Amino acid sequence: MDAAIIGFVVAGLVVGFIVGMTGVGGGSLMTPILLWFGINPATAVGTDLLYAAITKSSGVLVHRKNDNIDWKITGWLALGSVPAAALTLLFLNSLHTDQQALNALIKQALGFVLLLTALAILFKKQLMAFASRHADDSFHLSAPTLNTLTVVTGVILGVMVTLTSIGAGALGTVALFMLYPFLPTRRLVGTEIAHAVPLTLVAGLGHAGMGSIDWQLLGYLLVGSLPGIYLGSHLTGRIPEHLLRPCLAVMLSLVGFKLAF
């Protein structure tokens, strides 16, 4: 078997396991890996989006069974992210005839998401400590305000994920914790994965319509990732939160490292 094919399968296995366990690492790891293999930026993003939609769907089944999903939060996020993804696809479609411009836009967007991710890594502990410290005082948001901010968060994630396939896990996890500091880590992970499925599916199908999908490559990734995410999802509820949160921080660090180098 060709070494590249083995590499794609192994990459799918590792990334799938990380996504299932933490909710972080899908596009953050897979897109840089595909670029490192020499895949065209637009094709890498499009293929990774459908890969994420399929693999995270299997993770949702496990998290649902273990009651790790807050469906209300998922709904508010999707209310913002799915329409934002559709509008972003319309914009990308207008650039589709100019492949050079499309690739340049994707690379610039990757750099922007890298900056946001680096900030999230740098100030993660401080942000979480602030959110936990003020969760019960006057800083606590009212229900309508919290729902609005959740929708706005979805809009931002929808644009970023459609452009780069990155953000739903790494930045989305930090945003959810800031908005919902009392949400247990296992439910935070499950909720993020449940929201990522409709978002990546809509974005991935849109990219497929523009021809930005390598179906053979997608198949290789899925061969490894489906068992990986299944195993990872089963470990989520069994790992103590004080061990899982550092794991999330490591995933965010990997985002910055992979995209920077």
CB 27 within 8 A of CB 113: no
d(CA 103, CA 14) in angstroms, rounded, equals: 27
Summarised one tens digit per residue, pLDDT across range 180-200 is 887 887 788 788 888 988 999
| 51 contact partners, CB below 8 Å, separation of at least 6 | 12, 26, 30, 204, 218, 221, 222, 225
CB 90 within 8 A of CB 158: no
- The segment with the largest mean pLDDT, out of 85-89, 139-143, 182-186, 251-255, is 85-89
Closest CA to 175 of 73, 258, 55, 256: 73
Q: What is the pLDDT of residue 189?
A: 78
Residue 182 backbone dihedrals phi, psi, to 5 degrees: -90, 0
Length of the chain: 261
Domain that holds residue 178: 1-260
Closest CA to 253 of 9, 23, 97, 25: 25
pLDDT band at 140 (very low <50, low <70, confident <90, very high): low
- What proportion of the chain, given as a percentage, has pLDDT over 70? 75
Mean pLDDT, the chain, whole residue set:
79
d(CA 55, CA 17) in angstroms, rounded, equals: 10
Residue 98 backbone dihedrals phi, psi, to 5 degrees: -110, 85
Q: What is the pLDDT of residue 251?
A: 59
d(CA 203, CA 81) in angstroms, rounded, equals: 10
Summarised one tens digit per residue, pLDDT across range 216-257 is 999 998 888 878 877 877 776 666 656 655 665 565 556 556
d(CA 176, CA 34) in angstroms, rounded, equals: 28
Number of domains in the chain: 1
Summarised one tens digit per residue, pLDDT across range 23-80 is 555 666 787 778 778 888 888 889 988 888 887 787 788 788 888 889 999 999 999 9
